[in-house]
Structure 1
Amino acid sequence: MRPELVAVVCLIIVVGVSVLAPKLRLATPILLVVIGIGISVIPGVPPVHVPSEWILAGVLPPLLYASAINLPLVDFRKNLGSISILSVLLVIVSALITGFLLFMVLPDLNIAAAIALGAVISPTDAVAATSIGKRLGLPPRLIAVLEGESLVNDASALVLLRTSIAATAGTIAFAGFGGFAIDFGYSSVAAVAMGLVVGVVTVFVRSKLPDPVLTTAVSFVIPFLAYIPAEAIGASGVLSVVVAGLYTGHMGAKHFTASARISERLNWRTIQFLLENGVFLLMGLEIKDIFLSALSPTAEADGLDAIGSIGLGLAAAAVLFVLRFLFVGPLLVVQRARLHKRDPLSTEAREATGWRGGLVVSWAGMRGVVTVAGAQSLPESIPYRDQLVLIAFTVSIATLVFQGGTLPWLIRVTRLRGVDEAADHAEFATLVDELRAAGQQVLEEPGLSLPSGEVIDEGVIDRVRGDAELRSESAWERARAADPESEGSAPHRQYRVLRLEVLRAERVALLDARHRGAYSSRILVRAQLMLDQEESRLQQSDGSGSHG
């Protein structure tokens, strides 16, 4: 089958499954893996194999960048302690323990190669967990911890993987924790520095570009500008990408235009959707080839068949499951106590996770793209290489299907409370009032005029002031509507609904004008953009366009 046809079919599958999965109450990644496995076992379907470097260097950087620019830096800093422990310490401990157990079970496997596989199966992938959590209303603090962990733990795992592979090749002496600490420290510091440099330079360049299309186009190369030089100097390319993405996402609000931010957000959401779901479909498609490799005469001569490899993979998944519980429980207890001691009435303390949140975070330890790519990057010279790849895939699929498949049930059983909608709307309305007050100061300045010196008509000032008041009143109306004890009226909801009906009528007239050919195409496009922008603003104001 021609590659372009395969790409089209895969795209149709990804989109179709994404529509179907919520109706089946399943996470999209789980369903894609299952469908991929089903396709791979169809007679006549050729084996699928994608080189690991394509995923590590071609897919992982833009995928991490897309996540980083959408993770608020304030949330990352607020949860830095939890994220660091889960993404660094837990990854190292998990890699060492699972690696040592494999070293004890497989007689021909040296300790460095065993730890290399441990590093492969240690990092979590938050795609399935966060997609389920957001749909079921998990607290934002839990979502931020899971997303932050999955961003940083990839770097920890890949640094440990690189060090272990170098040790197996004899290029360095595997000097235990001291050797790893030195390598990890250099890799992390150099990666942070590289990511900041790339972030600062690209934000500056993009802020000078007048066209949102050009700004977004430049953003497509930022992950690779951060990844490639960092890897060339022996630093962590993925950590460099994360730092560049966090910086860009944070500074974009200050330096980019509104249209540039909207364009970037939409385009990167599309890229992220295609890449992350495509990897899960690929995981299912590759399983047949991996299983057959583990059944080859060479693999069986090693004394470990495919069934034994799957058994070891399930055992490793169980060990990782237990280790995560042992780490998350004490971590969240300490965190909750510290926050309540500091200020028990703060929002941060109210959102601090108790045993329910700890249970969900512990359960949400699914493996994904890094495990898939890292396993296939293991050198061919490593003993049991085919079996180790199958073990890694087994861990990934087992955690995805078991933990990911039961996570919605767990969230419902624990009755974990997410965002207080009424409090959320009230807090938003308070912020809108604060913004309105700042804007009103401009209107109240004596001798107010345009930057060109043109005197402003008083009616224009009243109109601008009225727009700000309308926005504030609309925000408070939504807050009252979310409060079951409120009996507030809804004139602004009526305004939005009526204005949307008017826009629909205007759009019909626009389509009729286009059909008649009465206006030039550029004028029709400008008019359509005008209607689209207002409709989008009204839908966002109503909350109907803010999902996803």
Structure 2
Amino acid sequence: MESIELVVLVTVAVILVIGVVAFFAGRIGVAAPLALTVVGVGLGAIPAIPHFEVEPDLVLTVILPPLLYAAARQVPFVDFRRNIRVIGFLAIVLVVVSALLVGAAVSLIWALPLALGIALGAVVAPPDAVAATSLGKRLGLPPRIVTILEGEGLVNDATALVLLSTMLAIVDVHAETPSGGMVVLTFLWAVVGALVIGVLLGGLTVALRKRITDGVLDTAVSLVVPFVAFLAGELVHSSGVVAVVVAGIVVGNTGGFRIRASFRLAEANTWRAITMIVENGVFLFMGFQLWPVIGSVAGDGDLPGVLALAGLVIVLLVGIRFASMPLLLWTIRRRYRKRAAQADAVNQRFEGMTEEDFQRRAANFQQLGIKGSPVRNMLRGIRASLGIVTEKDRQQRDRVAARIAELEANPPTEPVELDETARARFSRSFQGFRRRLEQQNNDLSAERDQALSWRDGVILGLSGMRGVVTVAAVQTIPDEQPMREALVLIAFAVAIVTLVVQGLLLPIVVRRLRPVGDADGGERGEVLELRRLLKDAGDAAVTEAVADAAAVDRPVGPRVIDEVGAQTETWLGRVEIWAGTDLTQPDNPVEQFQRLRRIQLEAERAALRDAYERGAYSSEAVEVMRAALDSEELSLDAVDSRLE
């Protein structure tokens, strides 16, 4: 059989196996990644099926970026921001600690170089981004837990891969050993450089797709973004993985309000098909490759010892994750109490303050004469957000407090006069201040309503299944390193055992603990309230548009205004307008209806985005309303296509 025919046959067979296994896994209540891993192990044991190898660089460069991008597109940024500290702890601190402890244990037992042991620890430390979240969504976990698991899975891969590359550079006898400071700088640049690339590329992607008028071209642009982000990140020696994740979050959250609904629907269906095949194919391949890895170690007679060490590594990883949960929960509660107390003080101080009051106090504050460069003030704010306060910061804070106390004790006898430029600047400052204050209060309300309990800690502890990154990354260890085959087997064993065992235990534990998510009634109430908010914004935009049309002698018919205002759920009223209209006439009632309804939709989308960014409503309620607006936009597109 020709090689090309064999490739086609294998591809078709793999897709069929994935489809059949995923279908039956859903019927029996088992997550598809678990079932496909087990099936892969079974297929790998059949001698008649030939084994083949896949280059690890192919997995990390070609397969991983689209998977991470597709997952990042679906992460609500507001929820991600609210849980950034929890995600950072799990995805950075816990990964580094796990890698160090596992590396120390392996190096001590096998007398390996410590850097090589830490490299193995970096490989097995990050939980998989797909396995836990697919289980969590299927089990109906609370939205906050799902967001934490999604965010952890997206970020921890970058931490592990940067740590792995650093350790491999240390054990490479032909390379210069990096210093401790260089390691820290390398990690910081990997994150900061990737953040800049991801934000810029995500913003450029949204701006470009907003102007594209061809759906096929729009989908094509979407498909190349993860690869461009990954390669750009690697090109500047930062983290391509972080660049992909950031670009996905930017496009998914910003593009949802700017890109055409029909294009986003086509894009979503395309990505859904791709990720279903690629994700499940990776788990199938992971199980399929287990037997060749075992065979490479069994020939040396070290199999029992390697498997015993793999068991120890699994126990260490699970134990470290569970042991960190009480500290994490305590830190979350402590920080919430501190933030709530600060917010109460701020709310009491500024309660009832009007814009005029703000401008008067701001004008008086100008008399303090406190100066500082924008860069210095920005750095001071960054340090404060990280909990780092220098002696100069304390002195500056004390000077400001003393001058404010002096000003309040001896207020000026005459108010400071402000010019128009200053008034406009202070007005923007007041609106921004009010917005940040509302956002902070909404964040605290969400934190209170979705507080994590010890039950959630147990579920988070049990959700540390390993997967594709572990299997692919371990194979990047050079062949000349001692006991490479044994290290590869340990990584495979950790990935498969945690995926299968913890994946089977998690549904049982969830059913026993019964974590309580958002009540359906609460979400329905949010959707109803949000719908009223959007209707008010849309009606105001329509009223303004009708007045503008009348001002230029293009009055809109009363029937059209009534139908737009009614926003009928059926097409009856619109069909009646259509039936009695001469479509050849310019500015006919159908065109008027389409124009006004699009103005209304645009205002509703703007109001929805504002509500989302303020965090006033849950991401689930916002997504329901966005889907409703998308459906209406698709209906308008269908009519426009008939009018062309």
TM-score range, shorter chain: 0.7 to 0.9
From 18, 22, 34, the equivalent of 1:18 is 22
Q: Which residue of 2 aligns with 1:325?
A: 322
Distance 1:183 1:449, change over 3 A: same
Alignment check: 8 A CA contact 1:63 1:276 kept: yes
Alignment of structure 1 residues 292-331 onto 2, 5 Å: 292-296=295-299, 299-300=300-301, 305-331=302-328
Aligned equivalent of 1:285: 288
Q: Does 1:466 align with 2:566?
A: yes
8 A Cα contact 1:33 1:281, kept in partner:
yes
Specify the SS of the correspondent of 2:469.
Answer: helix
Checking the alignment, whether the CA contact within 8 Å between 1:366 and 1:396 is kept in structure 2 is yes
Instruction: Tell me the distance in 1 between the aligned counterparts of 2:137 and 2:241.
Output: 25
Q: Shift of the alpha carbon at 1:467?
A: 1.5
Aligned residue in 2 for 1:71: 75
Q: CA deviation at 1:306?
A: 2.0
Q: How far apart, CA to CA, are the structure 1 residues paired with 2:42 and 2:168?
A: 33
| 3-state SS of 1:82 partner | helix
What's the CA shift for 1:268?
1.5
8 Å CA contact 1:333–1:354 kept in 2: the answer is: no
Distance (Å, rounded) in 2 between the aligned partners of 1:450 and 1:403? 66
Evaluate the alpha carbon distance shift between residue 56 and residue 428 of structure 1 in structure 2; reply closer, same or farther with a 3 A threshold: same
- Does the CA-based 8 Å contact 2:92-2:156 persist in structure 1? yes
Q: Distance in 2 between matches of 1:136 and 1:341?
A: 33
| Residue of structure 1 aligned with 2:34, choices 27, 30, 33 | 30
Q: Deviations over 1:264-303 (max 9, x none)?
A: 222122222222111100101111111111123xx44xxx
Trace 1:103-502 onto structure 2 (pairs within 5 A): 103-107=107-111, 109-170=112-173, 171-176=175-180, 178-296=181-299, 299-300=300-301, 305-339=302-336, 342=339, 346-445=445-544, 447=547, 449=549, 454-467=554-567
Task: Write the deviation string for residues 31-71 of structure 1: whole angstroms up to 9, x where unpaired.
Answer: 10000000010122112321101100000111111111111
Distance in 1 between residues matched to 2:33 and 2:550, nearest whole Å: 53
Cα distance in structure 2, aligned partners of 1:5 and 1:85: 45
AA paired with 2:15?
L
Following superposition, the deviation at residue 451 of structure 1 comes to: 12
Structure-2 change in CA distance of 1:340 and 1:420 (3 Å): farther
Give the whole-Å Cα distance in 2 for the aligned partners of 1:7 and 1:316.
Answer: 35
Q: Which moved more, 1:434-443 or 1:391-400?
A: 434-443
Q: Compared with structure 1, are the counterparts of its residues 82 and 453 closer, same or farther at alpha carbon in structure 2 (3 Å cutoff)?
A: farther
Count of paired positions: 472
Contact 1:49/1:289 (<8 A) preserved: no
In the aligned structure 2, how far is the partner of 1:38 from the partner of 1:451? 75
> Shift in Å at residue 3 of structure 1?
1.8
> Whole-Å Cα distance in 2 between the matches of residues 75 and 415 of structure 1?
22
Q: Secondary structure at the match of 1:374?
A: helix
User: After superposition, what is the alpha-carbon deviation per residue over 1:149-179, rounded to whole angstroms, capped at 9, x for unaligned?
Assistant: 0000000000001111111113131545x44
TM-score w.r.t. the length of structure 1 is: 0.82
Quote how far apart the aligned CAs of 1:72 are: 1.2
Q: Look up the SS of the partner of 2:567 in the other structure.
A: helix
Deviations 1:484-522 (A, max 9, x none): xxxxxxxxxxx89x9xxxxxxxxxxxxxxxxxxxxxxxx
1:8 to 4, 7, 12: 12
Q: For residue 121 of structure 2, what is the amino acid of its counterpart? A: G
Pair 260,451 (structure 1): closer, same or farther in 2 beyond 3 Å: farther
Partner of 2:577 in structure 1?
none
In structure 2, C-alpha distance between the alignment counterparts of 1:201 and 1:435, rounded to whole Å = 28
Mean Cα deviation higher: 56-65 or 41-50: 41-50
After TM superposition, the structure 1 = structure 2 runs for residues 84-95 of structure 1, keeping only pairs within 5 Å, are 84-95=88-99
Q: Using the alignment, how far apart are the partners of 1:12 and 1:450 within structure 2? A: 61
Q: 1:329 is aligned with what amino acid? A: P
**2:382 corresponds to which residue?**
none
Post-superposition Cα deviations, 1:110-163, rounded to whole Å, max 9, x if no partner, equal 111111111000011132222222122111000000000000000000000111
Q: Deviations over 1:215-252 (max 9, x none)?
A: 11111111111111221222111011111111111220
Q: 2:103 aligned to 74, 99, 120, which one?
A: 99
Aligned-partner SS, 1:449: helix
Go from structure 1 to structure 2 and tell me whether the alpha carbon gap of 1:197 and 1:172 turns closer, same or farther (over 3 Å shift): farther
Partner of 1:489: none
Structure 2 Cα separation of the partners of residues 274 and 89 of structure 1: 32
Report the CA distance between 1:448 and its aligned residue.
5.5
Q: How has the CA–CA distance of structure 1 residues 343 and 428 changed in structure 2, closer, same or farther, with 3 Å as cutoff?
A: farther
Report the 3-state secondary structure (helix = DSSP H, G, I; strand = E; otherwise coil) of the residue aligned with 2:50: coil
Letter of the aligned partner of 2:48 in structure 1?
A: G
Provide the rounded CA distance (Å) in 2 between the counterparts of 1:236 and 1:450.
56
Tell which structure's C-alpha radius of gyration is larger. Answer: 2
| C-alpha displacement of 1:316 | 0.5
Partner of 1:43: 47
Q: Contact conserved, 2:218 with 2:263, CA < 8 A, in 1?
A: yes
Q: Distance in 2 between matches of 1:347 and 1:191?
A: 29
Give the Cα–Cα distance (whole angstroms) in 2 for the partners of residues 118 and 397 of structure 1.
Answer: 16
Change (3 A) 1:443 1:183: closer
The answer to whether the Cα contact below 8 Å between 1:137 and 1:419 also exists between their aligned partners in 2 is: no
Distance 1:325 1:174, change over 3 A: farther
Among all aligned residue pairs of Structure 1 and Structure 2, give the percentage whose two residues are the same amino acid. Answer: 41
What's the CA shift for 1:394? 0.4
Task: Tell me by how many angstroms 1:86 deviates.
Answer: 0.6
**Secondary structure class of the residue paired with 1:221:** helix
Counterpart Cα distance in 2 of 1:315 and 1:451: 79
Distance 1:252 1:245 in 2: 10
Q: Any conservation in 1 of the 2:190–2:237 contact (CA below 8 Å)? A: yes
* CA RMSD after TM alignment: 2.6
5+ residue gaps in structure 2?
Answer: 342-443, 573-623, 629-644
